Structure 1
Amino acid sequence: VTGLAADTSYEFAVVAVNEAGESGPSNTVTATTQPRGEAPDDGLPERLLTGYWHNFDNDSTVLRLADVPSEYDIVAAAFGVEDREVPGGVDFAVSDEVSDGIPGGYSDADFIDDVAELQQRGTAVILSVGGERDNVRVDTQERADNFADSLYGLMDEFGFDGVDIDLEHGIEPTYLTSAMRQLSDRVGPELVITMAPQTLDMQSTTNDYFRFALNIKDILTVVNTQYYNSGSMNGCDGNVYAQGSVEFIAALTCIQLENGLDPEQVGVGLPATPSAAGGGYVDPSVVNDALDCLATGQNCGDFTPPDVYPEIRGAMTWSINWDATNDYAFAETVAPHLDTLP
């Protein structure tokens, strides 16, 4: 049952219907919805701006991690890739491409120092695994164990605060859940876990990505769905919306908000520039409108949300490097707006 008000008592009764007609109602039961949540106690800001930093040169802007502007609350280093020698294992290094693009080069040791520098100013740095071109299969218990072990080792080596799951070639939620719980048990409650599913992955709770998110809801930080490269899709109201609009962003996000994830675990992901994605770019001001729509019911365009979600967590962009090519217009537009949300 969706669209209910917070901290409100409702009565429910059930009838059965078949070709013979309708039965009488069952006994009535009463249930009270949960109150609006308080600010998350995960040690991160109440609102989050997440951005990806590349360890490769894709014709955007090559930059050191330390050059990431302070508007970003979480920086996801992209990407951790499959360890070819360990089934389910993850490997990461600063690539030669990036080193060649930075005067004086850029080594793993430089990167580690920069991770510490960002953390000192209050920015979390996590490792994003997968991406468009790479995948790590976690479809057996052995692979799940190796996935968790390798991530724990990389966190220790580079100082990462957690992990971003960006596996765009399919996941197996049972074993990936096992891996994340193993990692959580070893790191503790300070572990940051984010996800960046494609739009299609979060259309229904029967989808593997959505199932995985619900499986780890108690240790999950935020899901930043990629609202780009998507075409047109159904929103939570059953209507079809085209990507690249405030209605698309709000109506697709509403599916998660109405089907089990807490608002403080939900963010919206958009490209920083038209060149950063094949489709779905919107001006950063439209990202702000979508956040307003979800948090307050205002600036929704032709979409009417079934409820408001003041605790909506924030936004994500692909990527910080692309944002740099546009004088950080995404960060400088969206970050201050997050502070205005209720």
Structure 2
Amino acid sequence: MDSTSTTRARRWRVAGVAAAVGAVVAAATVVGTAGTAGADPGTTAVPRHALTGYWHNFDNGSVVQKLGDVAPAYDIIAVSFAEATGTPGEIDFTLDPAVGYASEQEFKDDIAAKQAAGASVIISVGGANGHVAINDSASAQAFASSTLALMDEYGFDGVDIDLEAGINAQYLTQAMEAIHASAGDDLVYTMAPQTLDMQSTSTEYFQLALNTREFLTVVNMQYYNSGSMLGCDGQVYSAGSVDFLTALACIQLENGLAPSQVGLGVPASPSAAGSGYVDPGVVTDALDCLTRGTGCGSFVPDQTYPDLRGAMTWSVNWDAASGNAWSDVVGPHVDALP
């Protein structure tokens, strides 16, 4: 089976993309002013409410699984991770033999099968150990060109920005504008910033989200491996509670992102992160608080956000290690949101 032609028609071409990317980079401007988002932006390629999970292209002691074994509850699967090359900004992807694929074609066929079942499969860039430098126009062009090349080669639906250091909003905006210009509105474009990265609209990550909000799918902030943080009401909240999830999400919801661009990112099990694990019931309470005004803790938002995108977990492998206990609870709840 040819995964690039039998499931979804690819809407981008790598041939000649360098010239197109260069033109977009040269013309790109940085907007990034906070305010209330207008009409619901972003792709229509994912469900109104979506469950996102990261898939390991490595063996870290959780569960080694192929893409085809990922629980069907996941609407967006982020393949972790692309890696930097020797060229600034450029990324590449190589299957780890530990995952068990006999060939790259088998992996591509699994991507196609997941897409045929209704899921989006995207390539994630970054992680705790991933460092991709995008800090000038040349590296922005290299990132855009190489990302589009991976999308074309493997059939990925888009890209996830999970860089945990060195974000340059100006040049990463240029790169993402170029990718969107080539891929079109079916692009699935997600982010997974840390809590500190989304405390203020002045941070580089928040600026990137605002700059690209016309086609940004969802920001799944990592509500884990974090100390106490300020909520949108100026109060300090500790990790591991409904209030931490809702009061921090409120910052994004009230400072320029559409509700459909906000998701709650949590660990799938206590082993999946150093801190911040919460029971799946806490996640569903937080989702209900934000979308329905029920299940709240001491923090109660001034309004509800029924278009909230959903939830994310690190990771599908850690979820599988716990018998899919996380997705079995959170997945149906996300699907049933208003």
Question: TM-score category by the smaller chain?
Answer: 0.7 to 0.9
Count of aligned residue pairs for this structure pair: 304
Aligned pairs for 1:160-239 within 5 A: 160-239=156-235
Normalising by structure 1, we get a TM-score of 0.86
Match of 1:115 in 2: 111
Q: Distance in 1 between matches of 2:254 and 2:198?
A: 12
* Equivalent residue for 1:258, pick from 237, 250, 254: 254
Greater relative contact order structure (CA < 8 Å, 6+ sep): 2
AA in 2 matched with 1:75: I
State whether residues 83 and 89 of structure 1, in contact with CA within 8 Å, keep that contact through their aligned partners in structure 2: yes
1:91 counterpart residue number = 92
Residue 155 of structure 2, aligned match among 156, 159, 172? 159
Q: Which amino acid aligns with 1:163?
A: V
Q: Name the CA distance, whole Å, in 1 between partners of 2:58 and 2:51.
A: 22
Relative to structure 1, the CA distance from residue 244 to residue 34 in structure 2 (aligned partners, 3 Å threshold; closer, same or farther) is closer
Q: Report if the CA contact (8 A) 2:51-2:331 is conserved.
A: yes
**Matches for 1:1-342 after TM superposition, within 5 Å:** 42-84=44-86, 86-99=87-100, 105-342=101-338
Cα deviation digits, residues 195-230 of structure 1 (max 9, x gap): 000011000000000000000000100000000001
> Where do 5+ consecutive residues of structure 1 fail to align?
1-32, 100-104
% identical equivalent positions: 55
Amino acid at match of 1:150: S
Structure-1 separation of matches of 2:205 and 2:251: 13
- Determine if contact 1:264/1:313 at 8 Å carries over to the other structure: yes
- Give 1:281 shift: 0.1
* Pair member with larger Rg: 1
Following the alignment from structure 1 to structure 2, what is the Cα–Cα distance between the partners of residues 187 and 337?
Answer: 31
Does the CA contact (< 8 Å) of 1:40 and 1:46 recur in 2? no
Q: Which amino acid aligns with 2:95?
A: V
Following superposition, the deviation at residue 35 of structure 1 comes to 11
**3-state secondary structure, aligned to 2:78:** strand
Give me the whole-angstrom Cα distance separating, in 1, the residues matched to 2:103 and 2:275: 34
Q: Which residue of 2 aligns with 1:5?
A: none
Deviations 1:64-121 (Å, cap 9, x if unpaired)? 011111110000000011012x22100111112323xxxxx44322211100110111
User: Post-superposition shift, 1:134?
Assistant: 1.2
Distance 2:109 2:284 in 1: 33
2:68/2:113 contact within 8 Å kept:
yes
Report the Cα offset of residue 307 of structure 1: 1.5
Q: Which amino acid aligns with 1:209?
A: Y
Q: Deviations over 1:257-281 (max 9, x none)?
A: 0000000111000000000000000
Distance 1:34 1:270, change over 3 A: closer
- Looking at structure 2, the residues matched to 229 and 35 of structure 1 have their Cα atoms a distance apart, in angstroms, of 29
| Separation in structure 2 between the aligned mates of residue 136 and residue 35 of structure 1, nearest angstrom | 29
Q: Which runs of 5+ in 2 are unaligned?
A: 1-34
Letter in 1 for 2:180: S
Q: CA RMSD in A?
A: 1.6
| SS of 1:286 mapped into structure 2 | helix
